[in-house]
Structure 1
Amino acid sequence: MSVQIHVPDHILYEDDYILVINKPNGLMVEPDRNNHPNLLHQVRQYIKASAPDDQEVYAQHIHRLDRPVSGIVLFAIQRSVLKNLSEQFAERKVKKYYQALTDHAPQQHTGTLLHWHRKEKKKAVIAEQEFPYAEEARLTYHVKPLAADRFLWDIELYTGKYHQIRGQLAYIDCPIIGDATYTSGVPYKPDAIALHASKLIFSHPITNQELIIEAPTPFI
């Protein structure tokens, strides 16, 4: 699946310093060795189209989403704000919210998932007890039924590990719909899973104003 987007249709917020995009499923955030279409390149092309010929075109994503995941991606479009935004993420000052669909519900419809996590061969390994080279992975969630076999999760992610949400939900027998990597046998859309980065709260790197960015849910 090759995804080319019209960037203006996906902009959630834009000013002289930052750009926030609602990424569709199936589009990589950054380049890979196979030269797949990627959001970073498309954002840079968008900025270049309106910039004077002698002006440097700069854009850098501050975080990533997996290719099959949709939702919010934040870009610095001035070098001067990259350090500030990166430090907000590193110091866990940014609040990150996701939505997911599963065909099973957990035993408790509201709660916290606290596990040990390690990346291994492009997959998250999850356990309840600490094991070598593992780190803590934590999220909180609330689940509500949409149908007999469809459950909507509202998730706050605290630690942001590799495939963390995908791995933790699968570990409790609630794999995300479409996520065959983590044992879901329920189809979703091509090159997509039912996981969406729905809200991001952070401080503007220049004004320090709190920004609350939301991407409309694709699930309701």
Structure 2
Amino acid sequence: MEKIQFTVKEEENGSRIDKLAAAQDEQFSRTQVQEWLKEGRVLVNDKPVKPNYKAASGDEVVIHIPEPEELQIEAEDLNLDVYYEDADVIVVNKPRGMVVHPAPGHVTGTLVNGLLFHCKDLSGINGVMRPGIVHRIDKDTSGLLMVAKNDLAHEKLVNQLVEKSVTRKYKAIVHGVIQHDFGTIDAPIGRDTKDRQKMAVIDHGKVAVTHFHVIERFHDFTLVECELETGRTHQIRVHMKYIGFPLAGDPKYGPRKTLNIDGQALHAGVLGFVHPRTGEYVEFEAPAPKEFEDLIFELKKNI
């Protein structure tokens, strides 16, 4: 059983223990941590406490993380849009609305279900829940993903992500008219302290860098291309909101009055990396889906 240990800092004195514990990992939700507290999995100075316990500076906290629930992941014929495939790598164009990997309560219709049907040889580094998955894009973001078919390919592709050598370019429609043609957003991202379901730019977040340039301006919107230097959760969505130009249709970070699209207008159109076996740089480009292009067509009519 995995465990996380931390000491309550002076500036955290008086904070609720569930809030402090949830902040230790961006994958934790406050609701989940509250359940662990009720189950006695979170100990303060070797004793279980209630979720509303007010921590004191110097408290020693241990979180005993339960083993993940074993799920039966079944292969499904989802007619995946495969852009490239060989013995080491698959590049897939994921449609908007598809979740990348299964989770409790959501075990069918994911990219992983489709991959298990499409091929039997996927890397096992991430276990049965995420076979072959090297990186993710959000459910309502469409576009290209690379998937590893063996452990050696997986390690080499992950290393490229760590070294920031993978090319990842996204098209996005944002609210507002960006006046400058180019920009770089260098702002750290971490779990939003006010809403654990969101990410935000925070002082002690992880380094996050997004480069963008304007493709076209409309009456109240702008079409941009964003290139990721890092790959934090919701990075483009958080960064564009941070500079005052949230993504159209974004249910988490955008305004309620927006374009007629179900989810953020974001498409991972370009993906490039060094092939893990040949050592050659390969790059792929996928056009934005029809609903994305339809939005642009409507916006052009209102210029």
TM bucket, shorter chain: 0.7 to 0.9
Deviations 1:149-202 (A, max 9, x none): 332111111111111110111112211111021033214433x31011111111
SS at match of 2:105: coil
RCO higher in structure (CA 8 A, sep ≥6): 1
Match in the other structure for 1:211 = 282
Distance (Å, rounded) in 1 between the aligned partners of 2:156 and 2:216: 39
Match in the other structure for 1:93 = 165
The question of whether the paired residues in 2 share the 8 Å contact of 1:63 and 1:74 is answered with yes
Structure 2 unaligned residues grouped into runs of 5+: 1-76, 124-130, 294-303
Instruction: Report the TM-score, using the length of structure 1 for normalisation.
Output: 0.85
| 1:6 aligned partner, one-letter code | N
Match in the other structure for 1:106 = 178
**Which segment drifts farther, 87-96 or 102-111?**
102-111
Higher-strand-fraction structure: 1
Measured on the aligned residues, the alpha-carbon RMSD in Å equals 2.0
Distance (Å, rounded) in 2 between the aligned partners of 1:174 and 1:211: 32
Distance (Å, rounded) in 1 between the aligned partners of 2:260 and 2:146: 26
Match in the other structure for 1:66 = 138
Match in the other structure for 2:242 = 171
| 2:143 aligned partner, one-letter code | G
Aligned ranges 1:10-25 → 2 under 5 Å:
10-25=81-96
Q: How many residues align?
A: 204
Q: 1:136 to 1:79 in 2, by over 3 A?
A: closer
Match in the other structure for 2:78 = 5
Match in the other structure for 2:215 = 144
| Shift, 1:145, TM fit | 2.7
Match in the other structure for 2:111 = 39
Match in the other structure for 1:198 = 269
Distance (Å, rounded) in 2 between the aligned partners of 1:187 and 1:153: 16
Identity of aligned residues (%): 30
| 1:164 aligned partner, one-letter code | Q
Deviations 1:45-72 (A, max 9, x none): 1114xxxxxxx56551110011111111
Distance (Å, rounded) in 1 between the aligned partners of 2:96 and 2:175: 19
1:123 to 189, 198, 204: 198
